[in-house]
Amino acid sequence: MDAIESIIQTINQEAKTERDRYFVEQKDQTDHSFAQKEKKKQTKWAEKKERQLKKLDKSFQQEKQSLTNQAKAKRNFYKQQLLEETFDEALETMNRWDEETTRDFFLTALANFSKDTKISVQVGNKMAEGILSTQWLEKISQTNGIKLQLTEKSSSVSYGFLLLVGGVQYNFSYQALVEEQKKKKGRMYFDLLFDNKEVL
């Protein structure tokens, strides 16, 4: 009887040991599987977070660039506007030239022509009377050898004058001269005024 009980106890002990080992193995497998799932979940979450951060950064950079471009365009608009005002002020200054300054400018224009050239002079319709008078032109003709003839005032030019030589018209209206300078040197003046090398 004691031998049988001893065998039974041994069998029970072995069965218990096997059960305990089984439970430990199952627990280890369960813990390992849970850990893998958690790791996988954490990896996916980290990847999703990284994608969201990249997307957010891209949106931020795009918005920043857009705002920068808008600010630059606005600055250039006001700079261009100021440059336009500068040209307008230059034109107003020319329109107010006194007799001496106007005549000096006229003589500078005549320097482009040779002696014995016949030139018809049309004065701007808003120019002061006598600023380029017939008497003064005759005096210049005698001095320079250029034959000058004053005609009726121009209907198309307000300030300045037109020179007609052999059917060719030379426009020395102050408006045309300022516009020509604006086209030729506007970019250079923009850079000088604002020390800006960026393209408009």
CA distances from 44 to 33, 37, 57, 181, 187 (A): 16, 10, 20, 65, 56
- State the pLDDT at residue 174: 96
- State the pLDDT at residue 171: 96
Of 181 and 102, the structure prediction assigns the larger pLDDT to: 102
Q: What is the pLDDT of residues 35-49, one digit of tens each?
A: 777 778 788 877 777
Q: What is the pLDDT of residues 56-105, one digit of tens each?
A: 677 767 777 777 777 777 777 877 788 788 889 989 999 999 999 999 99
Work out the pLDDT band at 31, boundaries 50, 70, 90: low
* CA atoms of 109 and 128, how far apart (whole Å): 19
- pLDDT greater than 50 at residue 198: no
**Which residues does residue 173 pair with via DSSP β-bridges, in sequence order?**
160
Kindly report whether the global pTM for this prediction surpasses the value 0.85: no
Task: Give residue 148's identity as a one-letter amino acid code.
Answer: L
| Alpha-carbon torsion angle 182, 184, 185, 190, nearest 10 | 60
Q: What is the pLDDT of residues 100-138, one digit of tens each?
A: 999 999 999 999 899 889 999 999 999 998 999 999 999
- State the pLDDT at residue 39: 78
Q: How many CA atoms does the CB half-sphere of 32 hold within 13 Å? A: 6
Q: Are 99 and 128 in contact (CB under 8 A)?
A: yes
